[in-house]
Structures are given as structure tokens and as C-alpha cells.
Structure 1
Amino acid sequence: MKIAVISDSHYDASSIKLVKKYLSDVDVLIHCGDGAEDTKLLEKDFNGEVYAVRGNCDISNKYPNERILDFVGTKIFVTHGHMYNVKSEYNSIFYKGKEVEADIVLFGHSHRAMVSNLENMTLMNPGSIALPFGGAKKTMGFIELTEGKMPNIYLIELA
């Protein structure tokens, strides 16, 4: 199973168009907020499952602030990150991940792409597909899950 993870699209149509070319072999798409409504544009040409959470810039109440997903026995906690102060530190979101017994924690908000492994849990911020921090490249993340194996979790730069 392959999961694509995006965040902080901020309703930028050109960034959504850019992401579409990376979804051909993806089973699930997760949007970590701030542009959650952009998933409607992605769903049109995508045959997999789509999940989103609400970010601090999303006005729609259609999406939850947090969600827990389970794929192939891997528990994934998804939030935007603004409620966990991720622009300054990762302690709060790490402990929330431990509290819900997540294997993977996905978040956005800071527009800074990162993957970090701490105490058998992976934290991933896929960065922003529209407005990357400090002139960095636009990025997105992927999670490849195979039952009985460690997840393969990585980031790519969008071109």
C-alpha cells in the first residue's frame, strides 16, 4: 500500500495540478490541512481513498482537527500541527502520538519538510506543496506499507 501525504496547499491550483502527476500508483492520499478543501480537486482524478484534517487557515468545518487511521496494522495520527506548537518544538506532538499509540504522526503547519524517528514512532511533516518555508522546494511525503515490514517513509521535491 502506498500513501501520499501533502499539506499546506493553501488553495493554490497550480500546486494541486503539480501533485496529481505523483498519484498514479498511490492508494491513499492524506492532506494535513490548510487547503483541506483542495482534496475535492484531487479526488476528481484519483481512485483511492482521501482523508483530510482542518488547518488553522481552513474555514470549513467539514474536516476534523485530528484523525487516527489504520492501514495494514499501522496506526497513523493526522493533525495540522497548529494545536501542538510545531513551529517551535516537536515535544507536544510527539507526546500526543505516544498517547494515541501511533506508529506514524503526520502534520503540517510549519511548511518545513521533515521526517524523524523517535522511540519507534515516525514524525513526518511533508512540507508545503504551495508555500515552502524559507525558499525551500515544494515537497510531499510518501509512506509505503507492507504487512510485517517496517514502513518506508520518505519525502520528495516536486518538479
Structure 2
Amino acid sequence: MIIGVISDTHRNLYFISELQDIFKNCDKIIHLGDNLSDAEELKEYFKCPILNVRGNCDFTRTVPSERIEIIEGKKVFLTHGHEYDVKWHMNALTYKAREVGADIVLFGHTHSSMAECVDNVWYVNPGSPSLPRDGRKTVAIIEIKNGMVQVSIRGIK
């Protein structure tokens, strides 16, 4: 199972041709909010299922702000991250991960990429491919195979 993860696109999909190359083998794509219409537009380019949550710049109640998905036997917690103050610390998100028994936590909001395994829980922020705050335009790829999780952060030009 290969999962493409993207967040904080903010209605800037100029990189879609490069994304098509990076996400071409994905079985699922997850958009972590900040712009829901971008998640809808991704459906025009990719035939795999696209899951999403709303971010702090998405003003609708029809899409949840967080969700839990079981993917290849792994419990994956999806959130934009703003409700957990991820720009300042990881404490609240770590507590939530423990509360729900997550194996993988996917979040955005900071516009800075990171992938770290702490106490057997993967915390993955794909960064932002359009408005990065760490100087790198990025997305993430997660591969789950034989119960093992591999994460890579991929740059966008």
C-alpha cells in the first residue's frame, strides 16, 4: 500500500504535473486541509481514493476536521493539526495519538515537513508544496508493506 500525503496547498496547484509523477503509484491520497477544493481537484488527476480533512482555512462542516482510517492493519489518525497547536508543540497531538491508539499520525498546518517515529508511532507532516515555511516544497509518501511502515518526504520543484 502506497499513500501520498499532501497538505496546505492553499489553492495553488501549479505543481500538479510533478505531483502526478510522485503520486503515480499511490493506492490512496490524503489531503490534510487548507483548501478543500484542491482535494476535489486532485480527483480529476488521480483515480485512486482521495481522503481529506478540513483545515483552519476551510469553512465548511461537511468535511470532518479529523478522522481515523484503518489502512493495511494500521490505525491512521488524520488531522490538519491546528486544533492541537502543532505550530508550538506536539504534546496535545501526542496525547491524542495515545488516546486513539494510532500507529500513524498525519497532520499539516505548520507548512514544514517532518517524519519521525516516536514510541512506535509515526508522526508525519508532508509540509506544503505551495507555501513552505521551511524553504522546501514537499509532500510525503508512506508505504505499508508486511506490517512495516516507511516514510519519505519528497521535494517539489
Instruction: Please report the TM-score for the alignment, with normalisation by the length of structure 1.
Output: 0.94
Tell me which residue corresponds to 2:145.
Answer: 146
Which consecutive residues of structure 1, in runs of 5 or more, have no partner in the other structure?
Answer: none
**Equivalent residue runs for 1:74-85 within 5 Å:** 74-85=74-85
Q: 1:109-142: CA deviations, max 9, x gaps?
A: 01010111111101011001110004x1100001
Deviation at 1:17, TM superposition (A): 4.3
Sequence identity (%): 40
Cα distance, 1:48 vs. partner? 0.7
After superposition, the C-alpha distances for 1:48-94 in whole angstroms (9 at most, x for unaligned) are 11100000001232310001011110110000000000000011101
Instruction: Give 5+ residue unaligned stretches, structure 2.
Output: none
1:32 matched residue in structure 2: 32
Counterpart of 2:133 in structure 1 is 133
Residue 46 of structure 1: aligned partner? 46
**Structure-1 separation of matches of 2:92 and 2:116:** 14
How far 1:18 moved relative to its partner? 3.7
Structure 1 pair 55/17, CA: closer, same or farther in 2 (3 Å)? farther
Taking a change above 3 Å as real, the CA distance of residues 88 and 53 of structure 1, as seen in their structure-2 partners, is same
> Partner of 2:109: helix, strand, or coil?
coil
Could you say which residue in structure 2 is the equivalent of 1:63? 63
Distance 1:23 1:115 in 2: 18
Look up the SS of the partner of 2:38 in the other structure: helix
8 Å Cα contact 2:113-2:127 kept in structure 1: yes
TM-score normalised by length of structure 2: 0.95
The Cα RMSD (Å) is 1.2
What letter matches 1:75 in structure 2? K
Q: CA deviation at 1:40?
A: 1.4
Q: Structure 1 residue runs of 4+, over 6 Å off?
A: none
Contact 1:66-1:77 at 8 Å conserved across structures: yes
Kindly tell me the number of residue pairs found equivalent between the two proteins. 157
Structure 2 match to 1:110 = 110
